[in-house]
């Protein structure tokens, strides 16, 4: 919801004050409880600073109220401020009187209440800023790229704090690599997540995975909808562009579905994984750790991140049914895309509604409307995903049995091949040692990583729909058909051109990354197969590795960082951001025949 203000210059000043205040809030929390063994400043000073920041936020709201053109619109957009301030007042003035009688307890309650208020204020302003920037009339993709860069740099700064590590402080390159891998939901690591990071560091990684997987702009829209604020037309158009949605009228429903669906799927996954961790003695000590491990791996699987709290990923748990019955479905659901899930839910709901109406309302039988049909996008995604999983499993099973130099038949059985076929589609977990797999199997994994998941999902790669369009385009040319057709529907020529462009750009980036890594890592004993596998894993935001990631040079790590970012955002997104202001030409040259093939 956009609010008009009388004094535009005053509003710009308030925006600057808000930005500076939010930065000081973050710094105060880092110094107080975040990253140092002892606060850099006395706690009394830091608490006094936070109270001053609270006063600034309250004063800013009062000034904006009087500066707003419509007071009613202002209160509609900020209705939550009243209950929030009432709760803060009860906590501050009630501590020591109505509850927490001890002086120390009362002070702790007041500090906690002030801290919660400041955190909510900063989160609200950050989310609103992201949505407003996306709807500012500039390229929404630039806002998306900027949000990823800010998230990566902020995450790297937090991971460099002393309390984020269990041993030595993380260096800048390693912190930047880890933050990029988490934000881009890749899973490549230079430090052991479970051993080298403290609980604080693991929580930072988990937050980066969740925000990076769904996108901070989407979280901003979710926050606005949760506060009862309707998206303006400009904001809806921006979200439609970022979510690749078809209709503008359902953007709010789509965003709500993404949020609710994510919470439900990850919650069910966490509960289902809870009993898994008692299988290997000495791994998980208590119930609290069991819940944390369940939540961490559920979020990591659904977001297709591939981060694990175990050094060997799921190799020690390859006999557990939860790996195949819980982790695999989480990966597949995360890789299908929210648009496909939304379409499937609507179709199921329509079928159920029609069944009950037909069963209990006899008049409805003679006036039943046509059932909802599955969209072409959903058909392509489901069919291609199923084919890739099955063909990938059969290929890995075949090559591990007949092309492997070592006796790996027992290690890579049907379930192991199935899991690797699923996880290579940008998840990054593994139940077998990738280094011990045959070269043929690793090449199959590279192909699966190159394709990745589906559009609108947390996965990377060229996407399943792109692969289908490219293949069907070749089939149409061989059949001498003038149009590209799938499931008795024609695909527009613009979509065909985009699919070919994406595939070509991914090929160029993959070979360029492999070539540059072979130069920077020439002093190492890495084979070209290892280097290409690493580049493919980074570009597909997968996280599978033959074990060379921690041994990369700083130059090699920076190359992988750039490739992970390109793979997460997509080369076409980056080109769209760079060429946003270019206008299409209004003329055509005469055509002339050329011979190809």
Looking at residue 409, its pLDDT comes to 44
Q: Say how far apart CA 29 and CA 31 lie, in whole Å.
A: 5
Structural domains in the chain (count): 1
More confident residue, 220 or 558: 558
pLDDT score recorded for residue 321: 86
Angle between helices 414-423 and 376-402 (to 10 degrees): 130
105 domain-assigned = yes
pLDDT tens for residues 401-422? 877 665 544 557 888 888 899 9
Q: Does 467 reside within a domain?
A: no
Query: CA–CA separation, 457 vs 463, rounded Å?
Result: 9
37 inside domain:
yes
From CA 30, how far away is CA 579, in angstroms rounded?
A: 39
Which band of pLDDT confidence, cut at 50, 70 and 90, is reported for residue 1? low
Categorize the per-residue pLDDT at 231 as very low, low, confident or very high, splitting at 50, 70 and 90: low
Instruction: List phi, psi (to 5°) of 491.
Output: -105, 130
| Closest C-alpha to 158, from 189, 216, 115, 202 | 202
C-beta atoms surrounding 469 within 10 Å: 23
Q: Is residue 87 part of a domain?
A: yes
Predicted pLDDT at 559: 93
The H-or-E segment that residue 382 falls in is helix 376-402
How far is it, in rounded angstroms, from Cα 473 to Cα 486?
10
Q: What is the mean pLDDT of residues 121-138?
A: 68
Q: How far is CA 385 from the centre of its chain?
A: 20
For the cut 60, the answer to whether the pLDDT of residue 241 exceeds it is: no
Higher pLDDT, 132 or 270: 270
* Pairwise pLDDT comparison (131 vs 560), residue with the higher score: 560
User: In angstroms, rounded to a whole number, what is the distance separating the alpha carbons of residues 53 and 440?
Assistant: 60
**Between residues 330 and 245, which one has the greater pLDDT?**
330
- Say how far apart CA 197 and CA 204 lie, in whole Å: 10
Helix ranges, 227-362 (H)? 233-243, 251-273, 287-302, 321-322, 328-336, 338-360
Angle formed by the axes of helices 233-243 and 140-159, to 10°? Answer: 70
The pLDDT of residue 138 is 59
213, part of any domain: no
440 exposure class (CB count in 10 Å sphere: 0-12, 13-18, 19+): middle
pLDDT tens for residues 71-86? Answer: 777 777 777 778 888 8
Instruction: Measure the CA–CA gap between 588 and 450, rounded to whole angstroms.
Output: 35
- Cβ atoms of 509 and 563 within 8 Å: the answer is yes
Asked if pLDDT for residue 436 goes beyond 80, the answer is yes
The answer to whether 425 and 307 have CB atoms below 8 angstroms apart is no
In a domain, 456, yes or no: no
In this structure, is the dihedral angle defined by the CA atoms of residues 217, 542, 210 and 206, taken in order, positive or negative? negative
CA distance 2 to 18: 17
What SS3 string covers 87-156?
A: HHHHHHHHECCCECCCHHHHHHHHHHHHHHHHHHHHHHHHHHHHHHHHCCCCCHHHHHHHHHHHHHHHHH
Average pLDDT, integer, range 258-263: 83
Euclidean distance between CA atoms 115 and 120, whole angstroms = 9
Domain that holds residue 85: 1-134
């Amino acid at each position: 919801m956009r609010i008009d203000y009388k004094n535009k210059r005053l509003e710009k000043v308030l925006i600057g004050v808000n930005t500076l205040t939010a930065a000081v809030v973050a710094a105060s929390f880092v110094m107080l409880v975040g990253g140092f063994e002892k606060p850099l400043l006395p706690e009394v000073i830091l608490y006094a600073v936070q109270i001053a920041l609270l006063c600034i936020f309250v004063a800013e709201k009062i000034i904006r109220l009087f500066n707003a053109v419509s007071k009613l619109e202002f209160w509609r957009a900020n209705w939550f401020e009243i209950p929030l301030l009432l709760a803060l007042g009860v906590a501050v003035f009630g501590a020591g009187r109505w509850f927490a009688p001890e002086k120390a307890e009362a002070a702790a309650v007041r500090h906690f209440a002030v801290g919660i208020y400041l955190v909510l204020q900063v989160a609200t302003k950050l989310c609103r800023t992201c949505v407003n920037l996306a709807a500012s009339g500039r390229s929404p993709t630039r806002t998306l790229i900027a949000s990823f860069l800010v998230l990566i740099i902020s995450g790297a700064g937090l991971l460099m704090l002393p309390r984020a590590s269990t041993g030595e402080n993380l260096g800048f390159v390693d912190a930047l690599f880890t933050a990029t891998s988490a934000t881009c939901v890749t899973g490549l690591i230079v430090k052991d997540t479970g051993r080298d990071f403290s609980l604080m560091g693991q929580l930072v990684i988990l937050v980066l995975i969740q925000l990076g997987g769904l996108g901070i702009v989407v979280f901003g829209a979710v926050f606005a909808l949760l506060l009862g604020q309707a998206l303006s037309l400009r904001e809806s158009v921006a979200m439609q562009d970022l979510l690749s949605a078809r209709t503008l009228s359902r953007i709010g429903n789509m965003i709500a579905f993404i949020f609710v669906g994510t919470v439900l799927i990850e919650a069910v996954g966490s509960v289902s994984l809870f009993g898994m961790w008692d299988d290997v003695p000495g791994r998980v000590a208590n119930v609290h750790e069991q819940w944390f491990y369940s939540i961490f791996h559920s979020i990591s699987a659904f977001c297709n991140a591939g981060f694990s709290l175990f050094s060997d990923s799921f190799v020690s748990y390859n006999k557990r049914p939860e790996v195949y019955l819980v982790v695999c479905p989480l990966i597949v659901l995360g890789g299908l895309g929210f648009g496909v899930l939304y379409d499937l839910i609507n179709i199921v709901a329509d079928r159920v509604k029609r069944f009950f109406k037909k069963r209990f309302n006899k008049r409805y039988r003679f006036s039943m409307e046509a059932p909802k049909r599955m969209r072409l996008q959903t058909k392509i995604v489901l069919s291609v995903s199923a084919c890739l999983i099955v063909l990938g499993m059969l290929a890995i099973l075949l090559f591990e049995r007949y092309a492997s130099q070592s006796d790996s038949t027992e290690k890579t059985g049907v379930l192991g091949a199935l899991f690797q076929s699923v996880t290579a589609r940008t998840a990054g977990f593994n139940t077998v040692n990738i280094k011990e797999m045959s070269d043929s199997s690793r090449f199959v994994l590279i192909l699966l990583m190159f394709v990745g998941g589906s559009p609108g999902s947390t996965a990377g790669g060229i996407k399943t729909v792109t692969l289908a369009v490219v293949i069907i385009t070749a089939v149409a040319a061989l059949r001498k058909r003038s149009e590209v057709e799938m499931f008795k529907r024609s695909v527009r020529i613009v979509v065909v051109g985009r699919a070919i462009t994406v595939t070509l750009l991914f090929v160029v980036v993959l070979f360029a990354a492999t070539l540059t890594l072979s130069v920077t890592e020439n002093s190492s004993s890495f084979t070209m197969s290892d280097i290409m596998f690493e580049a493919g894993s980074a570009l597909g935001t997968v996280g599978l590795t033959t074990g060379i990631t921690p041994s990369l040079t700083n130059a090699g790590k920076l190359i992988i960082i750039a490739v992970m970012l390109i793979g997460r955002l997509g080369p076409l997104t980056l080109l769209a951001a760079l060429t946003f202001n270019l206008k299409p030409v209004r003329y055509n040259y005469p055509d002339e025949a050329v011979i190809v093939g």
